[in-house]
Amino acid sequence: MAFWQENLPFIKGFFDERSQKFFDLMDRAEASIAQVNADKIYSSKEFKRIKDNFTNIVKNLERQEVRDWLNSTKDLLAEEKKMAAAAEASGEPAVKAVKKGSVDDNLIKIFTRFEGLMPRVNETKLVTDMLWKSYEFTDDLVPLMEFSREQLSAATKEVFTGSVSQTEEITDKHSKTMDKLDKKAKEVKDIIARGKTLAELDKAPEFLAKKLTEMTDLWKQTNDESKNRLNGLKSNSAAWNAFADKCMLLNTHVQTAHKQINDVKKLFDMDKAAGDYKDRMNKAAAIKSEIDRTLKGVEEANDVLQLLADPDTKAQLTQEVTDLQTACQVRTELDTKMQWLDNFNKSVVDFDKTTTELEGLVKKDRSDLDNLIKPPQKMKSTDRLVSAMDLADDIRAQKEIQTAKQMEWEENLAPQGKEDTAEAKEFVARMAKVKTTLDSLEQEADGEAGKYGNDIVFMAEVSNARNQFMNWIQGAEEKVKKGYGSPNNLEEAEKLVNDCKEWAAMCEKINKVLENGKLSAAKITLHSDEDSELQAMKTRWEAVSKSCTDWTKKLGELSGMWSKQTEMLNQVTSTMVTGGGAGEQVNLNDLDQQMEAIKEMFVKKQEMMKKMSSTTAPDPAQLVQA
């Protein structure tokens, strides 16, 4: 007990010095730990210095001397606690007790800090070891990454080729790059595998995974680009050959399409034309498909060649493709030609249909016209005129159709050269016959219409004659039926004679009307009915005329007889009164003869008057006999 009390100041001074150094060492350890764990990526040299510094500090902390000092300090602390307890028991001053308490506090701080620090130190040792392995890995990675970048640059550098031979030269050079990559492949795979192993360990830093990913991606990109370049060069080499072959083939297809266009001919055999069109459409579809497919091959080859072509070669290739695309417009020309052929075939069918219809109409027109000329049933002249005019208009409409079709034929359908086959000539002959027949029918229909127009005038004249006759005949026939009465004297007889003369004049007038009507009827196209009607009227007229003639003669003779009788009586009376003149004597013989003549005249007159009591005119022969 006396030893510790006597040497305590010395021990305490030594403790303070050692504890301060130990605190400084722990401060440096924490600083080094902070450096190791800092969120920063060091170069391998920088981290080596940090690692060495940390390792040295850790060695100092872990020296046996430090451990021994800590153990002795623990003993000191235990002894000091005993002294404090003894002092309190002996009644020593409180100041000394306080000093002993401060030593105890420092020891607690040292032990507390040291105990808290060592786990961190141990953990940092693991981190440091992991980081150092990672930095060693990245150092080994650097040359391989530089190698990969060099090969990537070689594989992606811009190259130009203007021919298949140039492409082959570039391919040979690029093959060397591929060989280098093949030789390095195992080394790269090994180091990537090594990096993956490290990355799976605890405490593996983030930059390790990033560097590993960077290397993996770079190596993959380099290989991919190298393969792409090789494939591109192979494609380019193949494209040169394909471009040349397909350009030649495409020109052949274009020529074939032009030949198909030029081979299209007009066919007038409608059945053959339909089969020909179908066959040509199939051939056209086939050659267009070949042109499309070959042109696509040319464009695809050009797309490949454009990737590595120099500006001049690009321009040349582009011009060649443009020229071929222009040449391939023959597809449109072929479509247009086939559309023309389809339209032509349809037009021929329509032309045949129209021609057939016109031929049928021509026959119908002929039949209709014949029925007008010789109608099966009685027709009014006005109806015939209207029908004839309508028929003529129909024929003119048909002529317009024929003219339009003929114009279409001449402008679009007419054959040329070898196209003028028997079928084409038949179409021409059929349409020509239709035209000739229509012209003839039109002229005939117009002529008939003209006739029927005149018929109306002539029929009007016949109708006028009919009206005049009918207005006269009833009274005339009534007069024939009634006859003339016997006159009572010469004055009445002369009056009847004058009336009969007027009747005879009227009969003559009506006869002229009937003759004019007959002349007009003869001018009517179909006049049999009119002729029959006029003949019937003529017959009736003749009966009236005969009666009128008989009455005229009868009355004339009666009037003449009466006049002679009167004259004879006057002569006899004059003779008897005057005695034959001065100095003359009456000749009785002459007087007797005159009286006998007067008597005879009287008898005849009386006979005539007796016979006039009949309604029928007496026979003139009977009058003479009487």
| pLDDT tens digits along 125-170 | 766 777 677 777 777 788 888 988 888 888 888 888 888 888 888 8
Higher pLDDT, 594 or 352: 352
Higher pLDDT, 623 or 273: 273
The mean pLDDT value for 504-512 works out to 87
| pLDDT tens digits along 269-328 | 999 999 999 999 999 999 999 999 999 999 999 998 888 888 898 999 999 999 999 999
**Around Cβ 242, how many Cβ atoms within 10 Å?**
18
pLDDT for residue 308: 84
Res 95 pLDDT > 50: no
pLDDT for residue 328: 93
Q: Is 250 exposed, middle or buried (0-12, 13-18, 19+ CB in 10 A)?
A: buried
pLDDT for residue 452: 65
**Around Cβ 188, how many Cβ atoms within 10 Å?**
21
What's the token pair of residue 414?
């007419």
pLDDT for residue 103: 52
**Around Cβ 223, how many Cβ atoms within 10 Å?**
19
- Provide the b/e sequence for 324-362 (b: ≥16 CB within 10 Å): beebbebbeebeebbeebeebbeebeebbebbeebeebb
Average pLDDT value for the chain: 78
pLDDT for residue 621: 46
Looking up tokens 């650097």 gives 142
Share of the chain above pLDDT 70, in %: 68
| pLDDT tens digits along 456-489 | 777 777 778 888 888 888 888 888 888 777 776 7
Domain ranges of the chain: 2-152, 158-265+288-307, 342-462, 483-625
Confidence of residue 98 (pLDDT cuts 50, 70, 90): very low
> 53-62, 300-309, 530-539, 615-624 — which is least confidently predicted?
615-624
DSSP 551-619: HHHHHHHHHHHHHHHHHHHHHHHHHHHHTTSTT----HHHHHHHHHHHHHHHHHHHHHHHHTTSSSPPP
Q: What is the Cα–Cα distance from 331 to 338, expressed in whole angstroms?
A: 10
Higher pLDDT, 67 or 284: 284
Res 599 pLDDT > 70: no
Contacts with 176 (C-beta within 8 Å, 6 or more apart), sequence order: none
For 19-85, the three-class secondary structure string (H helix, E strand, C coil) is HHHHHHHHHHHHHHHHHHHCCCCCCHHHHHHHHHHHHHHHHHHCCHHHHHHHHHHHHHHHHHHHHHH
The mean pLDDT value for 182-200 works out to 84
CATH 1.20.58 holds for 342-462: yes
What is the Cα Rg of the chain in Å? 77
- Where on the phi/psi map is residue 581: left (φ > 0), alpha (ψ -120 to 50), or beta? left
pLDDT for residue 342: 94
**Around Cβ 377, how many Cβ atoms within 10 Å?**
5
pLDDT for residue 213: 86
Res 38 pLDDT > 70: no
pLDDT for residue 3: 47
The mean pLDDT value for 558-586 works out to 60
Fill in the amino acid letter for 356: T
Confidence of residue 617 (pLDDT cuts 50, 70, 90): very low
What's the token pair of residue 452?
């029927």
* CB 401, CB 350: distance < 8 Å: no
* CB 54, CB 33: distance < 8 Å: yes
Q: What is the Cα–Cα distance from 134 to 205, expressed in whole angstroms?
A: 8
Share of the chain above pLDDT 90, in %: 20
